[in-house]
A and B are shown apart, each in its own frame.
Chain A
Amino acid sequence: MTSVPGRSRSADQRGSDKPRGGGGTTPVPVGRRPETAADDTAAGGLTPPAAGPAHGVPYHGRGVTRRQRPLWMLAPGGVLMTIVIVIPLLLALYISLLDLDQYTFREWVHAPFTGLANYLEAVRSADLVHSIVVSVSYSVLVTAITLPIGVAAALATQNRFPARGLVRSVFLIPYVLPGFVLGVIWRIILLPGGVANNLLGHFGVHSGLWLNGPRSFWALVIVQSWASWPLMYLLVLAGLQSVDITMHEAAALDGAGWWAKLRYVILPHLGGPISLGLLISFLHNVNNFTLPYVLFGVPSPHDVQVLPVLTYVESFQNFRFGLAAAMAVWSLVLIAVPLAVYLRVVRLDVGEREGRRK
């Protein structure tokens, strides 16, 4: 049984899956190791003679493998990425330099080139800055709210109990509902004189307007939290299931209470899934268009003017395609910076090295 290249960390840990001739030191290209090793010998010269195929010493082998990796095999993926990501991105960058509007978009290639004018206009307009603040703050809040809920739900459904499957499925309902349906339902609930206000009225709270004004921000936070916590739950649940049952047994034998078990046995294992969950959740919230659009409509109330809706209004209502593209690029930059920092910190991008270390 040969492990598939990829996440073979656990296989390595167990030590039961020694790849042929590789020595099991570098886990990622496991399946290909015999070939590269053969290449090593064939190429000769380049590596010190010690790098024999029998004892795969990692430090020697790596330089050569790096150079001679069959990178061309990445070509299909590369082509796909170029078509799906790179070309549209370049197009967006190009459009952001044009004065493209309803008068010019029929022959958009001939639209006047305006350089960075769109970028300057976007920054100067108070709208962009305002919607970045709204988008980021609501996304951070939602992420912070959904984390404990997701972890708690995953822990609650970790152990077997009757109807666990049913409960797990029910937990996923908010997540599988289409954003549009969800928005319409919550809109009806939050209307003035709607279900929410009547319910709160029973408790003597007269809440007033939810879909406009300052409270609309909280409406967005609440609804988005409700809709997105299952994502966190799913990721944590997956993380929990990778914790070996023997760990639980050992902890139990040592007489650890539930808190000690959670704190010292389970949570350290959840670091990866939770970091990933936080990241995905944040990006998901920042990019969410459907929910705010359906809940509040356009033009959106000032307190919930999120970035995607602003970009939408600029391009599809005001026909300022160039300006909207510039706004989109600004928001990309703004997201990319913290994202890069975050990726370094949680080391999601260095899975390979981490795997090798163990």
Chain B
Amino acid sequence: MEAKRRLLCLAGAILLAASLTACQSGDKTPTSGASTKLDGTGKTLDVFMGANTIYPTQQKQWFNDVAAKFKAETGATVTFETFASANDELQKIQTSVLSGQGPDVYLLGTTFTPTAYATGAFLELSADDWKKVGGRDRFLPATLGISGPDKDHEVGIPFASRPFVMAYNKDLLAAAGIDKPATTWDGLRDQAKKLTANGVYGLALGYADGFDPWKFVWAMDVQAGNPVVDGKKARLDDPTSLTAYKTYLGWLANDHVVDPASVGWKNAQAIAAFGAGKAAFVPMVSASSKVTLDKSAVAGKYAYALMPTVPPGETSLPSGGVGAASILSGDNVVVAKYSKNKDLALGLINMLTTADSQDAYYKTFGDLPTNAEEAKKLQSDPALAAIVDSAGKSKNTPFNGAWSQVQLALLNVVVQSIPDLSAGKVDENHLKTLLSQAQTTAQGALDKSK
């Protein structure tokens, strides 16, 4: 009896001790890590980001470098997973959020941040969290514009900035006697008309692109004083929207300054046409186009400029209009709420957004830094002046969980107008019908938004 009881006691004690140590090892590491140095020994941090199709090998190298550096700093292993398309990204997020497991850190496109926020699956950054990533002041104020609905509810930490500009062919403009690119959309149209001759078109556009069309329409709308989404009210059927669509589609149908084949083009094909010297302007390109263009026939003969900021039909910014040069574009980093390594994740983000890291990232991939100190350095580079300028003049798209749906509705109007466009016309009545459908869809989505 006695022996048996003693054995039981022993077993109980061992069990208790074991569970206590287990608790300790589970609880203690993060707190001690936060106060002094992060200790991630034996832990793995999973990062999910878009595959870089322009620099695939450099991206792999960057993954290795980041992992090695973070291992040296904290002892934790960092693994990277990539997605090839926005749809892959969405599905991964959906399954991870549903199952409560998956990557710890996600790099999201800026326009997707509102939708991600709406799911409530990502960490809202407290003042303390911001401190752990180097402080909110570390970042360019403009890049924080789409981190959350307001300053106290932010999920996205700006990581890279990719503002849109337009590239123009210096030789073609000089030959036509144009000294600098226009700053109004009407002016751009007139210049494009002048430049369209001998198989060269004024503008290169990708009417079949999955994103470009709504960016044009959004920019023109915002410049004319229509924010597209006003609180919970959709304003897609405003006269300014009709004008925007008519202008954008009219470049091909009425002004004939765009290659008719571009009804089937995506953005890459428009850049290729510009690179082959077949177009004088290619609007809605980011700094990453530099890689393609520097290898093309127009290498050394082109430059970047801000896209027009004065809406169609105007000569100056109307009252209420916002001179948006580009949508606020780039990547935000978010941390999943289900992540068991939050402090480590924030530590990694801290490491990735220092001036040095951002400098290395910019030099390899061409994405502009969000780190204020590093951005200041780049401003002095004349080749980048326009792009850095655009970064400062970018405006965020509405921060609403329904924005993806609104965006799709805006895009759908162009998709369904392509047959008319291909026949060389802009059918105003058809456009109005499509716009009222888009308005209904968008309003329906906004009504459901929380």
Binding site for B on A (CB under 8 A): 101-103, 105-106, 108, 191-194, 208-209, 211-214, 297-302, 313, 316-319
* A/B interface sample: 21 pairs, CB < 8 A: A103-B118, A103-B450, A193-B261, A193-B264, A194-B264, A209-B264, A212-B208, A213-B418, A213-B422, A214-B419, A297-B210, A298-B408, A299-B412, A300-B415, A313-B408, A316-B91, A317-B405, A317-B408, A318-B405, A318-B408, A319-B115
Is A102 a contact partner of B208 (Cβ separation < 8 A)? no
Categorize the interface residue count of chain B. 20 to 34
In the bound complex, what is the Cα–Cα distance between A263 and B120 (angstroms)?
66
Distance (Å) between the CB of A178 and the closest chain B CB? Answer: 15
Is A209 a contact partner of B120 (Cβ separation < 8 A)? no
5 additional contacts (CB under 8 A) given A102-B115, A212-B264, A214-B419: A106-B120, A106-B121, A313-B408, A317-B405, A318-B408
Given A209-B264, A301-B416, A317-B408, A103 and B449 contact (CB-CB distance below 8 Å)? yes
Check B87 for interface membership: any CB of A closer than 8 A. yes
Is A301 a contact partner of B408 (Cβ separation < 8 A)? no
Is B405 a contact partner of A213 (Cβ separation < 8 A)? no
B97 contact set on A, CB distance < 8 A: 105-106
Check B296 for interface membership: any CB of A closer than 8 A. no
A103 contact set on B, CB distance < 8 A: 118-120, 401, 448-450
Main secondary structure of the interface of A (DSSP, over half): loop
Given A102-B118, A103-B119, A317-B405, A212 and B411 contact (CB-CB distance below 8 Å)? no
Encoded as 1 (CB less than 8 Å from any A CB) or 0, chain B from 198 to 224 comes to: 000000000010100000000000000
Given A103-B119, A212-B418, A297 and B208 contact (CB-CB distance below 8 Å)? yes
Distance (Å) between the CB of A65 and the closest chain B CB? Answer: 46
Is B422 a contact partner of A212 (Cβ separation < 8 A)? yes
Distance (Å) between the CB of A322 and the closest chain B CB? Answer: 11
Check B404 for interface membership: any CB of A closer than 8 A. yes
In the bound complex, what is the Cα–Cα distance between A108 and B100 (angstroms)?
12
**Closest residue to B409 on the A side, CB-wise?**
A299
**Closest residue to A312 on the B side, CB-wise?**
B87
Is A101 a contact partner of B448 (Cβ separation < 8 A)? yes
- Which residues from 96 to 147 on chain B have a C-beta closer than 8 Å to any C-beta of chain A? 97-98, 115, 118-121
**Closest residue to B420 on the A side, CB-wise?**
A213
B264 contact set on A, CB distance < 8 A: 191-194, 209, 211-212
In the bound complex, what is the Cα–Cα distance between A313 and B445 (angstroms)?
14
A211 contact set on B, CB distance < 8 A: 208, 264
Distance (Å) between the CB of A337 and the closest chain B CB? Answer: 30
In the bound complex, what is the Cα–Cα distance between A260 and B411 (angstroms)?
58
In the bound complex, what is the Cα–Cα distance between A163 and B389 (angstroms)?
66
Distance (Å) between the CB of A49 and the closest chain B CB? Answer: 62
A319 contact set on B, CB distance < 8 A: 115, 404-405
Distance (Å) between the CB of B393 and the closest chain A CB? Answer: 29
**Closest residue to A209 on the B side, CB-wise?**
B422
B411 contact set on A, CB distance < 8 A: 299
Check B236 for interface membership: any CB of A closer than 8 A. no
B419 contact set on A, CB distance < 8 A: 209, 212-214, 301
- Which residues from 173 to 210 on chain B have a C-beta closer than 8 Å to any C-beta of chain A? 208, 210
Check B17 for interface membership: any CB of A closer than 8 A. no
Check B45 for interface membership: any CB of A closer than 8 A. no
Given A102-B119, A317-B404, A317-B408, A209 and B263 contact (CB-CB distance below 8 Å)? yes
Interface pairs A-B: 8 shortest CB-CB: A213-B419, A193-B261, A192-B264, A209-B422, A212-B418, A299-B412, A191-B264, A192-B261
Encoded as 1 (CB less than 8 Å from any A CB) or 0, chain B from 230 to 269 comes to: 0000000000000000000000000000001101100000
Encoded as 1 (CB less than 8 Å from any A CB) or 0, chain B from 412 to 429 comes to: 100110110011000000
**Closest residue to B404 on the A side, CB-wise?**
A317
Most buried by A among B120, B264, B415: B264
Distance (Å) between the CB of A127 and the closest chain B CB? Answer: 10
B87 contact set on A, CB distance < 8 A: 316
Distance (Å) between the CB of B123 and the closest chain A CB? Answer: 13
B121 contact set on A, CB distance < 8 A: 106
Encoded as 1 (CB less than 8 Å from any A CB) or 0, chain B from 272 to 289 comes to: 000000000000000000
B118 contact set on A, CB distance < 8 A: 102-103
A191 contact set on B, CB distance < 8 A: 261, 264
Check B29 for interface membership: any CB of A closer than 8 A. no
**Closest residue to A107 on the B side, CB-wise?**
B120
Check B360 for interface membership: any CB of A closer than 8 A. no
Check B10 for interface membership: any CB of A closer than 8 A. no
B210 contact set on A, CB distance < 8 A: 297-298
B98 contact set on A, CB distance < 8 A: 105-106, 108
Is B418 a contact partner of A316 (Cβ separation < 8 A)? no
Contact of B415 among A208, A299, A318 (CB under 8 A): A299
A301 contact set on B, CB distance < 8 A: 415-416, 418-419
A192 contact set on B, CB distance < 8 A: 260-261, 263-264, 422
Distance (Å) between the CB of B24 and the closest chain A CB? Answer: 31
Check B94 for interface membership: any CB of A closer than 8 A. yes
Check B16 for interface membership: any CB of A closer than 8 A. no
Distance (Å) between the CB of B371 and the closest chain A CB? Answer: 31
**Closest residue to B260 on the A side, CB-wise?**
A192
In the bound complex, what is the Cα–Cα distance between A192 and B206 (angstroms)?
12
Distance (Å) between the CB of A19 and the closest chain B CB? Answer: 51
In the bound complex, what is the Cα–Cα distance between A211 and B263 (angstroms)?
10
B297 contact set on A, CB distance < 8 A: none
In the bound complex, what is the Cα–Cα distance between A158 and B419 (angstroms)?
45
**Closest residue to A296 on the B side, CB-wise?**
B415
Encoded as 1 (CB less than 8 Å from any A CB) or 0, chain B from 394 to 407 comes to: 00000001001100
